[in-house]
A and B are shown apart, each in its own frame.
Chain A
Amino acid sequence: MASADKPINTDVPEKDVFALHFLQSLSNLRRQNAFNSPDDTTNNRVKKIKKAAYVSMARAAGGTNRLWSRALLRRAAKENNKVVIFSRRKKRVTWLRRSNRRDPVDAERLRNLLPGGGAMETSKLMEETAHYIKCLSMQVKVMQCLVDGLSAK
């Protein structure tokens, strides 16, 4: 039974790609002396690490190819008062959501959780969600490994 459509690919890179990006982000933070300035509270440090985690995850996995990573990187850049310019996508299809259609409550909740989810078509939302979940769990694994490695005496 030949299906004309290929299954949609939501593969993510291997763990070491995430690890490399995250470690790079962390060492950048160190270099900027983000951890040692006296007016830097613990909360600030944690926030910076958290942001490094999300940004490095977006770069490792999606870069500019995924709607969620574009939204995440855009948001992060905005917080730094910078502007990100993404290259124009060549596709004729737009995944923008049509405003006259309302989703059930569950889909709305999902849109709020996924970066950039509010603007996506429902079908694209499902694809991006699968990819996002895979990336998040990879990122969590990397961070857990790092914590375990640093905690071992």
Chain B
Amino acid sequence: MSNRRSRQSSSALRISDDQMIDLVSQLCQLLPEIRERRRSDKVSASKVLQETCNYIRKLHREVDNLSERLSQLLDSVDEDSHEASVIRSLLM
């Protein structure tokens, strides 16, 4: 992550190193693979990026699967009462 070059040529509104470190740690918190390690283990930037890609791909696949299941389920649901209760449970 080369921030230094960008700092030379534009205003001070670029992301600072501190903010970058914070972002990377935010990302690490989100990735299940990395979150479960011990805090003392160092994680390389490359590993963070790899895990991020894997996790995003996994989430995309889940959206695909859930879309398929929804397509089947929505077909058969027609009663108002059933849908209303599902919607209610979602919004709780």
Binding site for B on A (CB under 8 A): 3-8, 10, 16, 19-20, 23, 26, 30, 35, 42, 45-46, 49-50, 53-54, 91-93, 98, 101, 104, 106-107, 109-110, 113-114, 121-124, 126-127, 129-130, 132-134, 136-137, 139-140, 142-147, 149-151
Contacts and interface: CB of A to CB of B under 8 A. Distances in A.
Contact of B59 (A16, A19, A133, A149): A133
Contact of A49 (B16, B46, B71): B71
Given A16-B91, A150-B86, A133 B15 contact: no
A130 B23 contact: yes
A26 B60 CA distance: 19
Interface residues of B, number: 50
Nearest to B31: A133
Contacts of A124: 15
Nearest to B27: A130
Contacts of B15: 8, 123-124, 127
Contacts of A114: 56
A121 B6 contact: yes
Contact of B74 (A35, A92, A106, A133): A35
B81 interface: no
Nearest to A23: B87
Given A5-B16, A16-B90, A133-B59, 4 more contacts: A49-B70, A53-B63, A124-B15, A136-B59
Contacts of A127: 15, 23
17 contacts: A7-B19, A7-B22, A49-B71, A53-B66, A101-B5, A106-B49, A107-B49, A109-B53, A113-B53, A123-B14, A124-B15, A126-B20, A133-B56, A137-B30, A143-B62, A145-B89, A151-B69
B46 A106 contact: yes
Contacts of B23: 8, 10, 123, 126-127, 130
B43 interface: no
Q: Considering the complex of A and B, which 8 residue pairs feature the smallest CB-CB distances, nearest first? A: A106-B49, A149-B86, A123-B15, A143-B66, A50-B67, A150-B73, A136-B59, A49-B67
